[in-house]
Amino acid sequence: MKILHISDLHLGVKLSSFSPDAIKKIRLSVESGMKRIRESLASGEYDGLILAGDIFESRDVSAYNLRFIESCIEGVLNSGGFAIYATGNHDYWVQDSDFTSFVENERFILFTNDRVEKREFLYGGKKVAVYGIGYRTIQPSRVVGSDFPERGDEDIAIGVLHGEVSDGITPPNTPYYNAGSSILQNKFYDYFALGHIHKHKDFGKGIVYPGCTFPQGYDELGEKFALDVEISDKGPLSIQERVFTKHRVFDISLELSPENRGDLAFKLKTEVENILDSIDTDPIFRLRVSLDKPVVPNGKADMEMMEYIFGISEAGVHRLDFVVKPKDRSESCIPEELKYALSQAVEGFKVAYSDGSLKMRSAFDSPVSLVEILEKYDLENAILDRLEGQNVD
């Protein structure tokens, strides 16, 4: 039995932390990936599909996204397979949810109730039992590991849980469904399909988070994928990664100091080139430049330093986080000319405190360089006047 395990698609998410250029890349990647998922399911490649929650970003679902998931379910059903969908904390089930049009049948199992339930069906001459729980509210805040019963006399036992699972016996303390992995392992299911955590994790004995299928945040780093799961009574469980995304998110951090400002552009270029040489997906970069102490303005050198930071048109960086950690945590440590240029040139520019550090964030409409900003807004003379007024070289 071969199953495609997917969770946390978050279809309809707004992608507010990305620039318009990056959003376009992500949208095209997700659409292309979803079409390949649908084609794989309709082709008969899989016996079953498991959707382990947060398939939609909210209860308000666009007709396009709703139809897409319906067509994926129909594809596997029409090819003779089965589908399992357990709702999550984002796509929780209430009367006015847009996806309440889904109707459970003999081979489409839908877990929407806030208690563990068991469904049984025959597939390929084998008795299959599925144990799962859904969401009726955003934050149920319950320990549910012990609610799952031990497997019975079925040939194949599958569990589905959207929630937070910890190593060992003690469950995590979160506002969602919680369980300790040791408790779940003692149920002796053939496979336990998890959702909610966006990073892949395998607890052993078939208890697995696939992670999110498509990266849609700057914290969703590394390769993202669904899981191909093969359950057989003739051999051990097989779990393989299945990549559907065409984009990948990278985070680049650089330390800036008066001594290394001349090396910054080379370091950025080298790191980006190393990444590009190692992947075959479309990259989206975030650059974080951090200072442990204020950088004293230094006339022309400061102009070059800013140009290095913003010399990103070739690198393809879509977001900059400029992080400063001064002793007095004062906004004054950020070079005024940099702050001024950003505030004039970048829509959505903001300065805010976060985790004890001062951050300036900007999402670019498209990769841009400081030179282009200066030319467009005629800021170069104003900035040089500011520097000259500080009596620096």
| Sign of the CA dihedral with 285 first, then 291, 296, and 298 last | negative
Longest dimension (CA), the chain: 86
Give the tokens for residue 270: 């080298």
User: Which of 245-254, 262-271, 290-299 reaches the highest mean pLDDT?
Assistant: 245-254
Kindly compute the dihedral angle of the four CA atoms of residues 159, 163, 169, 172, in this order, to the nearest 10 degrees: 180
For residues 27-42, give the mean pLDDT.
95
User: What residue segments make up the domains of the chain, in order of their start?
Assistant: 2-242, 247-388
Backbone dihedral region for residue 80 (phi beyond 0: left; psi -120 to 50: alpha; all else: beta):
left
What lies within 8 Å, CB to CB, of 204 at 6+ separation is: 181, 185
**How does pLDDT run across 157-197, given as a tens digit for each residue?**
999 999 999 999 999 999 999 999 999 999 999 999 999 99
* Nearest CA among 47, 88, 36 for reference residue 229: 47
For the domain 2-242, what is the CATH superfamily, name and number? Metallo-dependent phosphatases (3.60.21.10)
- Look at residue 336 in the predicted model and tell me its pLDDT: 57
Say how far apart CA 154 and CA 283 lie, in whole Å. Answer: 45
Higher pLDDT residue, 303 or 103? 103
Give the tokens for residue 226: 């669904």
Task: Decide: pTM greater than 0.85.
Answer: no
DSSP structure class, residue 156: E
Token pair 């012990």 in the structure block, residue: 146
* Nearest CA among 73, 112, 74 for reference residue 95: 112
| Count of Cβ atoms closer than 10 Å to residue 87 Cβ | 31
CA distances from 172 to 133, 181, 184, 191 (A): 18, 10, 14, 21
Higher pLDDT residue, 47 or 331? 47
Does residue 143 register a pLDDT over 70? yes
- Look at residue 263 in the predicted model and tell me its pLDDT: 66
- Look at residue 144 in the predicted model and tell me its pLDDT: 97
Q: Can you list the alpha helix ranges (DSSP code H) found in the chain?
A: 20-42, 63-78, 181-185, 264-278, 300-309, 336-345, 370-377, 380-388
Q: What is the mean pLDDT of the chain?
A: 79
Say how far apart CA 335 and CA 155 lie, in whole Å. Answer: 67
Chain centre distance of CA 184? 25
Structural Rg of the chain based on CA atoms: 25
Say how far apart CA 117 and CA 147 lie, in whole Å. Answer: 9
Higher pLDDT residue, 317 or 37? 37
Higher pLDDT residue, 70 or 282? 70
Higher pLDDT residue, 170 or 327? 170
